[in-house]
Amino acid sequence: MFEHIQQPICDQKVQLDSTIELVIKRLDLIHPEISGNKFYKLKYNLLEAKRLGKKRIISFGGAYSNHIAATAYAAKLFGFECIGIIRGEELANKPLNHTLATAERHAMKLEYVSREKYRHKNQAEFLKELLEKYPESYIIPEGGTNALAIQGCQEILSAQDLEYDYIACAVGTGGTISGIIEASQDHQKILGFSSLKGDFLKQEISQWTQKTNWQITDQYCFGGYAKFSPELLNFIDEFEQKYQIPLDPVYTGKMCFGIFELLKQDYFPKHSRILLIHSGGLQGKGAKH
């Protein structure tokens, strides 16, 4: 059912003034609505929901969640009803932002919960309550990360990609990088650029993979999730002008900023070959938070 969505992925070379080869894998071009890594994260979850004969998909997210926007579209495509549990009761009385308007347009039913309640989104009691209200539902966690998502993200890398020395990607919940790590070869180094502040993602990723050929840093998170500075926004504008590749300020902008800082610091040995995963996320740009 996803066959007609998946278009050929375009690997685009970024010309650098050095011996280093930098290539960007444009997952952002896969599909305008189910963009980037979210396609891979949803694929096996929706197939499983179908197999189980479920009627509905329920998932969770904040007002700018790329996962919510992608899930709304993908669920509709698969013929599911879809409920989005959205963080922040106050949003119910506000005009919809770009992300939520998109989700609603794709027939997602938005249900707003308080920040306090949202914190319990993974707890059995809250999930039980949801399933009583919406029976025959398949629940996908916030950000879409679970074992089936990681299985899907293993398909991001092609056979040729196993020749790169480094593979870099943006990290939110850690699902995407976990799949990439699992699919990688031991000689490759996987670099994760966290969009969130803090050390907890190391533990999170270690739950999904036994491999050790990876590193994660929050040094380029610009203070935390969805935080940014004029320096980051300038970088994104210049990058787009120079290479005709759009980036978002929450994920891919921070990763590319981090890579260019590391290049400046001569972090990579000469003649290194680096693959950057462009994980999409451009739908949120319409919202400019």
Ligand X SMILES: *Cc1c(COP(=O)(O)O)cnc(C)c1O
> For residues 29 and 131, which CB has a smaller minimum distance to ligand X in the complex?
29
184 is annotated as an active-site residue: no
Cβ–Cβ < 8 Å for 180, 204: no
Q: Say whether residue 172 binds ligand X (CB under 6 A).
A: yes
- What b/e readout covers 70-82, taking b as 16+ CB neighbours within 10 angstroms? bbbbbbbbbebbb
Partners of 192 in beta bridges = 169, 216
By CB under 6 A, the count of residues binding ligand X is 20
Per CB under 6 A, contacts with ligand X among 186-245 are: none
Q: At closest approach, how far in Å is the CB of 138 from ligand X?
A: 19
Cα angle 159, 163, 166 (rounded to 5 degrees) comes to 120
Picking from 89, 86, 121, 117, the residue whose alpha carbon sits closest to that of residue 100 is 86
> For residues 26 and 89, which CB has a smaller minimum distance to ligand X in the complex?
26
Q: Say whether residue 46 binds ligand X (CB under 6 A).
A: no
Q: At closest approach, how far in Å is the CB of 206 from ligand X?
A: 14
Q: At closest approach, how far in Å is the CB of 195 from ligand X?
A: 7
Candidate ranges 1-9, 118-126, 171-179, 268-276; the one touching ligand X (CB under 6 A): 171-179
> For residues 136 and 237, which CB has a smaller minimum distance to ligand X in the complex?
237
Cβ–Cβ < 8 Å for 188, 275: no
Per CB under 6 A, contacts with ligand X among 251-270 are: 251-252
> For residues 101 and 131, which CB has a smaller minimum distance to ligand X in the complex?
101
Picking from 38, 43, 107, 41, the residue whose alpha carbon sits closest to that of residue 79 is 107
Q: Say whether residue 36 binds ligand X (CB under 6 A).
A: yes
Q: Which residue is listed with tokens 């590319």? A: 256
Provide the mask over 117-156, with x wherever binding to ligand X is found by CB under 6 A and - wherever it is not. --------------------------x-x-----------
Picking from 5, 132, 44, 141, the residue whose alpha carbon sits closest to that of residue 84 is 141
Query: Binding residue for ligand X (CB under 6 A) from 22, 25, 37, 253?
Result: 37
Count the neighbouring beta carbons within 10 Å of the beta carbon of residue 97: 16
Q: At closest approach, how far in Å is the CB of 136 from ligand X?
A: 27
> For residues 20 and 156, which CB has a smaller minimum distance to ligand X in the complex?
156
User: Distance of alpha carbon 37 from its chain centroid, rounded?
Assistant: 5
* 180 contact partners, CB below 8 Å, separation of at least 6: 153, 154, 156, 157, 167, 169, 190, 277
Cβ–Cβ < 8 Å for 103, 110: yes
Query: Binding residue for ligand X (CB under 6 A) from 45, 173, 184, 188?
Result: 173
Q: Write down the catalytic residue from 18, 35, 59, 65.
A: 65
Residues assigned a catalytic role: 65
Binding site for ligand X (CB under 6 A): 36-37, 66-67, 143, 145, 170-177, 248, 251-252, 279-281
